[in-house]
Amino acid sequence: PTRLIDGKAFAQRLRHDLREQALALHAQAGVLPTLAVVMVGDDPASGVYVRSKIRATEQAGMRSVSHHLPGHTSEAELLGLIATLNANPLVHGILVQLPLPPQIRRDAVLDGIAPEKDVDGFHVVNAGRLAVGRRDGFIPCTPMGCLMLLKSVRPVLAGLQAVVIGCSNIVGRPMARLLQQEGCTVTMTHLRTRDVAAEARRADIIVVAAGRAGLVRGDWVKPGAIVIDVGINRVETPDGARIVGDVAFDEACPHAGAITPVPGGVGPMTIACLLQNTLQAARNTVSAP
């Protein structure tokens, strides 16, 4: 029987635990974990994400400070704000919501965040730490959540064949590196891969983050494979708009040993992992010599 991986319930438990830990850190060390959320411009989707991150932070017993800058903000102005936040000892995590307006270079901004406050894990130093197998950096939240869900059904991943479909810097690439650290044999596939389906069929684990509704068909899934669907795609149906993943869920389900639904799978884990990184950043300021 196929096991449905309930990311929503997992994330709820994790957020509950993080709240206990945050309150304890505050009570024992006097440190109130604080996340600064920076948004530039008025992209509606970004606004939704930012508000839910702020709400989740506060529900988890942490503090959030939000900075909403106008769409015409210059790169220098944004870097100035980030420098101020870097220097503020009461701020432990800094998150700049993407995408940024065209006059601002994304990489310059991400690399302007102090690596020890980079709770999204997008700074090149944290990406580099992950790439060389060090465990002392911040790991991007979405792949971190995917790994937690994987391990909830299969605690030891060593020796398994894993295929990652899509290799963006925020999901696929760090996902592949995490799986490799767990001892998987990892194949990274992308738009220019000749036969993604053939790669997928060999895999014990499929993680897909391509942003293509229904990309992974039923016959791509080896019997018993674990399927983690990161995709968030809005599709129009006769009954209105729906959110679907990158997996043709009804087809894949009978083949998979375990599978994440969309919504209710990976999505809720991303914010929970952001909170975990923020708590970690706050803790690190206590244990530092």
Active-site residue set: 53, 97, 120
Binding piece for ligand NAD, criterion CB under 6 A, among 21-29, 188-196, 236-244, 274-282: 188-196
C-alpha separations of 90 from 15, 64, 83 in Å: 22, 11, 14
Residue written as tokens 């060090």? 134
Instruction: Show contacts of 50-58: CB within 8 Å, 24+ apart.
Output: 50/97, 52/271, 53/95, 53/271, 53/274, 56/15, 56/271, 56/272, 56/274, 56/275, 57/275, 57/278
Q: What are phi and psi of 216, to 5 degrees?
A: -85, 110
**Is 191 a residue that touches ligand NAD (CB under 6 A)?**
yes
Q: Which of 54, 125, 232, 243 binds ligand NAD (CB under 6 A)?
A: 232
* 240 φ/ψ sector (left φ>0, alpha ψ -120 to 50, else beta): left
273 is in an annotated binding site: no
Binding piece for ligand NAD, criterion CB under 6 A, among 26-34, 84-92, 114-122, 165-173: 165-173
Q: Which is nearer to ligand NAD, 73 or 277 (CB)?
A: 277
Task: Count the site residues for ligand NAD by CB under 6 A.
Answer: 25
**Is 165 a residue that touches ligand NAD (CB under 6 A)?**
yes
137: tokens are 């950096």
**Is 278 a residue that touches ligand NAD (CB under 6 A)?**
no
**Is 206 a residue that touches ligand NAD (CB under 6 A)?**
no
245 is in an annotated binding site: no
**Is 280 a residue that touches ligand NAD (CB under 6 A)?**
no
167 is in an annotated binding site: yes
Q: What are phi and psi of 104, to 5 degrees?
A: -115, 130
**Is 46 a residue that touches ligand NAD (CB under 6 A)?**
no
Stretch 58-97: interaction string toward ligand NAD, x if CB under 6 A: ----------------------------------------
Binding piece for ligand NAD, criterion CB under 6 A, among 26-34, 102-110, 191-199, 279-287: 191-199
**Is 266 a residue that touches ligand NAD (CB under 6 A)?**
yes
Angle between helical axes of 7-29 and 267-287 (0-180°, round to 10): 20
Q: Which is nearer to ligand NAD, 29 or 191 (CB)?
A: 191
List residues bridging with 205 in a β-sheet. 162, 226
Which residues are part of a known binding site for NADP(+)? Answer: 166-168, 232
The residues of the shown chain that bind ligand NAD, judged by CB under 6 A, are 142, 165-168, 170-172, 189-191, 193, 196, 209-212, 215, 230-233, 266-267, 270
